[in-house]
A and B are shown apart, each in its own frame.
Chain A
Amino acid sequence: MEVYERTIKRMKGEDLVKLAMALKIPLTEHRMETETLRELVEGELGRLNTEEGKERRRKLHNPAISIKGLVKRYGKKIAVNGLDLDVRPGEIVGLVGPNGAGKSTTLRVLTGIIRANSGLVYVDGHSIAGEPLEAKYRIGYIPEKPTCYPSLRVREYLTFIARVYGVPKHEALIRIAEYIDFFQLEELSKTYIANLSKGNLQRTLLAGIFVREPPFVLAFDEPMYGLDPRGAWSLKVLLRKLKSEGSAVLISTHILEMAEGLCDRFVVIDCGRAVGAGTLERLKAQVSGADSLEQVFLKLTGGIPEE
């Protein structure tokens, strides 16, 4: 509710009118002060929240992500070989491994883009094979190589995502405004996606994830790709906040420094198999002589190269 109020305070007249119309507030006067309209909107939102018991927060299933014995083959090549992985609500798990280890394949299976040859994959208690729509409704995915529809404008894309994920119109308007502001996309909201830089495209895709209703189950493949230091810092802050609010996050990354500071647990995979799992402390204890995640990673995936 606090976020709502903050966002509504920053909304311009035109956006407030759209919001008022979405809330079906009768706008009978030809001209109206922005402040008056803002009060009307806040009042209606307050009423809705009370009526619908919006204060209730949906909780995620525990574990929010559950992968058991996942096997994925491409022809004769085994990309993922019997992987087990759990992510609980309020937890950020780092999936680390060398290039071609099977990280992106795991995330693509998790998000229902490709199908597993065997194994069980659950998102918020829903099987991605058995109930794909329910599972997909809950998961937010950022791919390794971000792409988006070039003929859409940034705001149009966010609205489209809100529609696809069934976000009520008034909530969508508020959340779009909130995340356009958070990811500093205000000036780009009417820009065609084809004209965005890599970093701004990544910001747009991230904003598209968060226009949905929290708590989130997130599967991010190199989420810092293309972001400038300020953008990366903001995203880390946001992920920590979401974690404290009960979201579950699985991050696949090569940036071990970032992972070390952000993740609660790690799963190290190599050649499609988990070769190490646990908190950083536990991993350090498992791997003799390792002082950092980088050393754990190198020792578990072929040894530290000689200088």
Chain B
Amino acid sequence: MRSSTSVLARHELRMMFNHFRRTLTTPSMLAFYAVMVFGALFIMYLVSVMARFGPLFVELVDVLREYLPLETVFAATGLVTVTAVFMGYFGASPASVLEEPDENVLMAAPVYPYQVFLGRYLRRVLRKIVFLTLGVFVLSPVILAAPVQSFTLFLILVSLVLFLECNYLLGAVAAIAREKLSQRTSSRFRHLLLPLFCVLVVAPSLPGVSESPIAIAASPANCFALVTLAGFQIQHVGIGIGYLVGLLVMFHLIALLVAVNLYDERWYEAFSTSLSRAESESRVVRAIRGEVDFSDSDFTDPMVWIMLKDFWSRMRSPLQFWKYLYVVVGIIAAVYLHLFQPPWLQPLLIPSTLVASAVPAFMLLIALLGQMVSMPALVGFVDEKENIYLLKSSPFKKVDIVLAKYLGALIEVGLNAIPLYGLLLYIFRVQGSAFLVTLAAPMLVVFCATGTAAGAYIPVFTSDPTHPPVSVAFSFPAINLTMAGIIIVVASVLAKSALLLLVLPLLTLLMSGILLASAVKAIDLYK
């Protein structure tokens, strides 16, 4: 009577395979993927030819070997794990593997919750591997310049996946522990579990503790750090990469088994409740969200109304409050670092001999960070879900809808970017190149337009606007990288000319205008 886990695993594989098959048999999707992957590969090839990453990598390795203490790397990777635990504790990470159809198919079916979790987890890992492989393929022209052998690179990537998955599972275990404890007690002291959990996972990575060989082997964060450092020949502590990857596999299996053993029906409920948005909220969060009735607003412009609607809709989702809190704390932290330069986080001073090679890397980082924070632009239309059709049929001009989405995203992306660029400017000091960070502004303006355009095209490609096709999601970073490349080239060519002050804004406006016009056009093409 009981279904085996393999039935569910095969089901997940079948869905993945079907998805792949649909891509292969749909000429437009296939063309889209091909253009995106090979286009990005071509751009990366050009970047590798222009920037000569080989010498940069070699010199960077020397600098890192000299200036980067092992305990700092341990502390940094340990911090990543703590962040994952923190996010997992406040989020619903074990429930995040579930999907809407599960509610009426698998949750009501005679299968154990852990079987559903395992099936989904398999798909999650496979998807991650596929995306990582695609990413490595696209970045291969740059990566090949690095002083690392193919097999070692493979091991580094395996350890990256294992490390990230360990973090995810630790976050899931933290969330499960919180739920279990909340059932037993409603005392506020129950939240002491979080710092305790954080201390437990980060302890082996702390300076002083991490010097012990046992501590090195007692944490996935340390193992991952060592694999990366040894792989790039920066540091070697005498433990073979193979052993370290083996340890990571063991950590991952332990974390997976713990999460699987603790996974039960309460995560069905957590997911189901999140779908119906009937969750109870803490007083603080409720007060911040204010249960604001924005119908009292004096604005009459339809564009502002759409922006208000989007803003308050987002604010009513649990994560948004923390995002804004992060913006405030992040800005304060960035200002503090610049003003006081605390000894516990000193900037990475790039020697003058490396400036020529470090500048392209700095600009690439500006573009990558911009891409990272621009995601809200892509989800602006996705968040509308089925209401997108309602919005289209409302008496709003299409331009108003697109501009509302664009400006809303630009404000949010701008806010999210400030602390990140502040931190980048503090940490990554390339002599005389701080002004280059201003290139982030035109990039973000264009990236938001790309995101808005890509988001607007989702209902053109699919009749289910809640799930962006992978091809559209892929196009977002690919187009952005191209746009960033154009901005960087123009800025480099006109660097010593006042003409730059005229050309760059015009170029930014032109690129954004074309993208936004295509978004307006997309609304006409909805299925």
The contact size tier of chain B is 35 or more
Whether, in the assembled complex, A34 has its beta carbon less than 8 Å from a beta carbon of chain B, the answer is no
Most buried by A among B100, B112, B266, B281: B100
The answer to whether A164 and B278 have CB atoms under 8 Å apart is no
Whether, in the assembled complex, A205 has its beta carbon less than 8 Å from a beta carbon of chain B, the answer is yes
Give the docked Cα–Cα distance between A141 and B280 (Å).
27
B101 touches which one: A76, A114, A148, A166 (CB < 8 A)? A148
Given contacts A112-B108, A114-B268, A160-B11, contact A147 B101 (CB under 8 A): yes
The answer to whether A75 and B280 have CB atoms under 8 Å apart is yes
Give the docked Cα–Cα distance between A160 and B464 (Å).
22
The answer to whether A74 and B278 have CB atoms under 8 Å apart is yes
Shortest beta-carbon distance from B525 to chain A in Å: 18
The answer to whether A195 and B107 have CB atoms under 8 Å apart is no
The answer to whether B108 and A148 have CB atoms under 8 Å apart is no
Whether, in the assembled complex, B129 has its beta carbon less than 8 Å from a beta carbon of chain A, the answer is no
Give the docked Cα–Cα distance between A161 and B106 (Å).
9
Shortest beta-carbon distance from A139 to chain B in Å: 7
Whether, in the assembled complex, B291 has its beta carbon less than 8 Å from a beta carbon of chain A, the answer is no
Write out the residue numbers on chain A whose beta carbons fall within 8 Å of the beta carbon of B268.
Answer: 112-114
Give the docked Cα–Cα distance between A44 and B19 (Å).
38
Q: A141-B108, A151-B16 are in contact. List 20 more A-B contacts (CB 8 A).
A: A112-B107, A113-B269, A114-B273, A115-B266, A132-B265, A133-B2, A136-B108, A136-B111, A147-B100, A149-B15, A149-B101, A150-B101, A151-B19, A152-B14, A152-B18, A164-B109, A164-B110, A165-B109, A165-B110, A208-B105
Give the docked Cα–Cα distance between A141 and B268 (Å).
16
Write out the residue numbers on chain B whose beta carbons fall within 8 Å of the beta carbon of A142.
Answer: 104
Whether, in the assembled complex, A226 has its beta carbon less than 8 Å from a beta carbon of chain B, the answer is no
Given contacts A74-B279, A115-B265, A149-B15, contact A163 B3 (CB under 8 A): yes
> Which residue of chain B has its CB nearest to the CB of A132?
B265
The answer to whether B269 and A115 have CB atoms under 8 Å apart is yes
> Which residue of chain A has its CB nearest to the CB of B115?
A164
Write out the residue numbers on chain A whose beta carbons fall within 8 Å of the beta carbon of B109.
Answer: 136, 161, 164-165
Contact flags A106-117 to B (C-beta < 8 A → 1, else 0)? 001001111100
A113 touches which one: B1, B16, B108, B111 (CB < 8 A)? B108
The answer to whether B110 and A136 have CB atoms under 8 Å apart is yes
Q: Which residues of B contact A (CB under 8 A)?
A: 1-3, 7-8, 11, 14-16, 18-19, 22, 99-101, 103-112, 265-266, 268-269, 272-273, 276, 278-281, 462-464, 467
Whether, in the assembled complex, A137 has its beta carbon less than 8 Å from a beta carbon of chain B, the answer is yes
Write out the residue numbers on chain A whose beta carbons fall within 8 Å of the beta carbon of B107.
Answer: 111-113
The answer to whether B278 and A192 have CB atoms under 8 Å apart is no
Write out the residue numbers on chain A whose beta carbons fall within 8 Å of the beta carbon of B462.
Answer: 194
A147 touches which one: B103, B108, B110, B266 (CB < 8 A)? B103
Write out the residue numbers on chain A whose beta carbons fall within 8 Å of the beta carbon of B269.
Answer: 113-115
Write out the residue numbers on chain B whose beta carbons fall within 8 Å of the beta carbon of A147.
Answer: 100-101, 103-104
Give the docked Cα–Cα distance between A157 and B268 (Å).
21
Most buried by B among A139, A146, A153, A164: A164
Please provide the 6 A-B residue pairs with the shortest distance between their CB atoms, ordered closest to farther: A75-B280, A137-B110, A143-B104, A74-B278, A111-B108, A151-B15
B18 touches which one: A112, A137, A192 (CB < 8 A)? A192
Give the docked Cα–Cα distance between A74 and B275 (Å).
13
Give the docked Cα–Cα distance between A108 and B280 (Å).
19
Write out the residue numbers on chain B whose beta carbons fall within 8 Å of the beta carbon of A137.
Answer: 1, 110
Give the docked Cα–Cα distance between A194 and B1 (Å).
30
Whether, in the assembled complex, A31 has its beta carbon less than 8 Å from a beta carbon of chain B, the answer is no
Write out the residue numbers on chain A whose beta carbons fall within 8 Å of the beta carbon of B100.
Answer: 147
22 A/B residue pairs, CB under 8 Å, sorted by A: A74-B278, A75-B280, A76-B280, A111-B107, A113-B107, A113-B108, A133-B2, A134-B110, A137-B1, A141-B108, A143-B104, A147-B103, A147-B104, A148-B105, A151-B18, A160-B11, A164-B8, A164-B110, A166-B3, A192-B22, A194-B463, A205-B104
The answer to whether A164 and B103 have CB atoms under 8 Å apart is no
Whether, in the assembled complex, A230 has its beta carbon less than 8 Å from a beta carbon of chain B, the answer is no
Write out the residue numbers on chain B whose beta carbons fall within 8 Å of the beta carbon of A149.
Answer: 15, 99, 101, 105
Shortest beta-carbon distance from A154 to chain B in Å: 12
The answer to whether A194 and B103 have CB atoms under 8 Å apart is no
The answer to whether B278 and A75 have CB atoms under 8 Å apart is yes
Whether, in the assembled complex, A77 has its beta carbon less than 8 Å from a beta carbon of chain B, the answer is yes
Most buried by B among A74, A136, A150, A192: A150
Whether, in the assembled complex, A86 has its beta carbon less than 8 Å from a beta carbon of chain B, the answer is no
Contact flags A191-211 to B (C-beta < 8 A → 1, else 0)? 010110000000001001000
Shortest beta-carbon distance from A171 to chain B in Å: 14
Whether, in the assembled complex, A260 has its beta carbon less than 8 Å from a beta carbon of chain B, the answer is no
The answer to whether A141 and B104 have CB atoms under 8 Å apart is yes
Write out the residue numbers on chain A whose beta carbons fall within 8 Å of the beta carbon of B467.
Answer: 150
Give the docked Cα–Cα distance between A114 and B95 (Å).
13
Whether, in the assembled complex, A156 has its beta carbon less than 8 Å from a beta carbon of chain B, the answer is yes
Write out the residue numbers on chain B whose beta carbons fall within 8 Å of the beta carbon of A74.
Answer: 273, 276, 278-280
Shortest beta-carbon distance from A219 to chain B in Å: 8
The answer to whether A195 and B110 have CB atoms under 8 Å apart is no
Write out the residue numbers on chain B whose beta carbons fall within 8 Å of the beta carbon of A151.
Answer: 15-16, 18-19, 22
Shortest beta-carbon distance from B428 to chain A in Å: 42
Most buried by A among B99, B105, B268, B463: B105
Write out the residue numbers on chain B whose beta carbons fall within 8 Å of the beta carbon of A152.
Answer: 14-15, 18
Shortest beta-carbon distance from A33 to chain B in Å: 33
Give the docked Cα–Cα distance between A75 and B283 (Å).
12
Shortest beta-carbon distance from A177 to chain B in Å: 20
Write out the residue numbers on chain A whose beta carbons fall within 8 Å of the beta carbon of B106.
Answer: 164
B272 touches which one: A113, A148, A153, A156 (CB < 8 A)? A113
B104 touches which one: A146, A156, A165 (CB < 8 A)? A146
Give the docked Cα–Cα distance between A262 and B467 (Å).
38
Give the docked Cα–Cα distance between A136 and B113 (Å).
12
Give the docked Cα–Cα distance between A142 and B109 (Å).
12
Write out the residue numbers on chain A whose beta carbons fall within 8 Å of the beta carbon of B273.
Answer: 74, 114
Contact flags A254-274 to B (C-beta < 8 A → 1, else 0)? 000000000000000000000
Write out the residue numbers on chain B whose beta carbons fall within 8 Å of the beta carbon of A111.
Answer: 107-108
Write out the residue numbers on chain A whose beta carbons fall within 8 Å of the beta carbon of B15.
Answer: 149, 151-152
> Which residue of chain B has its CB nearest to the CB of A149?
B101
The answer to whether B104 and A150 have CB atoms under 8 Å apart is no
Give the docked Cα–Cα distance between A194 and B19 (Å).
11
The answer to whether A77 and B278 have CB atoms under 8 Å apart is yes
Write out the residue numbers on chain B whose beta carbons fall within 8 Å of the beta carbon of A139.
Answer: 108
Write out the residue numbers on chain B whose beta carbons fall within 8 Å of the beta carbon of A146.
Answer: 104
> Which residue of chain A has its CB nearest to the CB of B11?
A160
